[in-house]
Structure formats: C-alpha cells, structure tokens
Amino acid sequence: MTDQELLERAGEAKENAYAPYSKFQVGAALLTAGGDVFTGCNVENSSYGAAICAERAAVVQAVSSGCREFEAIAIASNGEDTVYPCGICRQVLHEFNPEIRIICQSPEGFETYLLSELMPKGF
C-alpha cells in the first residue's frame, strides 16, 4: 500500500462525511501493521461539540475490530488547503503510535510527517 493509495482510500471515505454544518468533508484511512486499512469520515451534530473527526472515526473502527498497531494514516478533505489533524486527533493517535506517519492531502498532492513532528513531547 503506497502513500498515494492510502490517500485515495481517504478520499473515498470523505464521500461519506456527514458535515452539514461546516461543509468541510474529511476522510481518513488508517493502515495497520498487518496491512489492513480502516477508514473513517467526520460525523457532525447539531450540538456542534459532539462532532467526530474522520481520523478518530477510523481509529475507533480499527480498535473495534481488534487492531491497535498503526503504521500510517492518510487524511483527505474537500478543501483546497493542506489538511492537518486537529489536536484531539493527534492525542488519540499518540495513544497507539507516537511515531505514526501522517499523510496529509495538499494542493501539490500530499505531505508526510511523523506524529512526533506535529506533536512533540506528547503525553
């Protein structure tokens, strides 16, 4: 599974986003150590604070299926700018792999980071 392929899976997942309030549709594709891919999309709510990000939706899918070893996560959106994971999602990813690779859709294609770069000295 290449980074490009994982990003394409995130792009597909984005199509299921429920984002009637922000109109910002996000999809995530999480690659496990075993080579499985779990996807997620953002799911918003009329009580805005109850929104769930795509990245956390993918993590919950994976953990619920018994997978906890994650190698990479790709994030795609319907926006024009590079999409980076929010602080809460960084923290949730840190729980499982502080060095997970993060592939962010960008205007040029994608940018890759380690979580430790985006969230140094995590808890």
Q: What ranges make up the beta strands (E) of 1-123?
A: 26-32, 37-41, 70-77, 101-106, 109-114
Residue 51 CB, nearest approach to ligand THU (Å): 4
Within residues 92-121, the interface with ligand THU by CB under 6 A covers none
Residues with a catalytic annotation lie at: 55
| Span from 18-26, 63-71, 91-99, 108-116 in contact with ligand THU (CB under 6 A) | 18-26
The sign one gets for the Cα dihedral 8, 87, 45, 79 is negative
Which has the closest alpha carbon to 49: 88, 79, 11, 14? 88
Size of the residue set binding ligand THU (CB under 6 A): 15
Contact positions vs ligand THU (CB under 6 A): 19, 22, 24, 26, 42, 44, 51, 53-55, 75, 83, 85-86, 89
